[in-house]
Amino acid sequence: MWRVHGLSVPGYRHRRDGVPCQDAWAHRQSGSAQVLAVADGAGSRPRSDEGARLAVELATEHFSRWTWANAGAPAAARTVRMELQITFRELRAAFLKQVGDTPGDFATTLTVVVLTPEWLGHLSVGDGFVVLRAGTSEEGEPQFHALPRPAAPGEYGNETVFVTSPGAEEWVHTDCVQDRGISGVLLSTDGLAQAALSTRPPGPNTSFVSAVLRSLDEPGPDPVRDTEALTDLLTSDRLTALNADDKTLLRAVRT
């Protein structure tokens, strides 16, 4: 069993200007599988908040149709990656059909995790990221692992790909982790990259990721108060100083 909690908050500039949050998240359980999705609408596009919401809704809808995954059976990594690619193409076709003649107005990234008792499938378009908690050190401390992020297209590291980008299928990144010891998963948009990821050495920022997963391992008696505390953290001056963008945190821990 898994306990799941998600939250999106607007960044400083959006709060100041009264602009709605352009991040979104969604979660759906299907049999023994959990489908988790986060999206980050492109700030320069007029309907990107709608695009982000549509992307995560379609992701949870399409990926929860994997009946073979719902049973929690073992699967070959190659099969999982292939199915991730196929499902993304179906999802993208549905997305483009719904948004009509101006798909660029709805530009958004998308990061998806399909979580089963035996393995985890990961798909990402754009600059979202995923961190896993799995295994322990010799000292008994939990270990954290950042999944690879897609390479940026072109020569500039700040470029990204959106679900609506021409040729997005060629830039989608897929992965499969076969590990029954996964005890926690964190998905986020790039608004939390500076807080949750380290550059030297590259990998998760253990103190941040450990804290936000631990608070879901041991929730307080009032879920509303827990959400308020997490909101305060994500909108704090400390995190805003690192990145003023919208922020999304979607967490799952094994119970």
Q: How far is CA 39 from CA 33, 42, 70, 137, 178, in A?
A: 20, 10, 23, 32, 25
d(CA 251, CA 198): 19
> Is residue 74's pLDDT more than 50?
yes
Q: Flag whether the pTM goes above 0.85.
A: yes
The answer to whether residue 71 scores a pLDDT higher than 70 is no
What tens digit of pLDDT does each residue of 135-149 get?
888 888 899 999 987
Domains and CATH numbers, the chain: 2-254 (3.60.40.10)
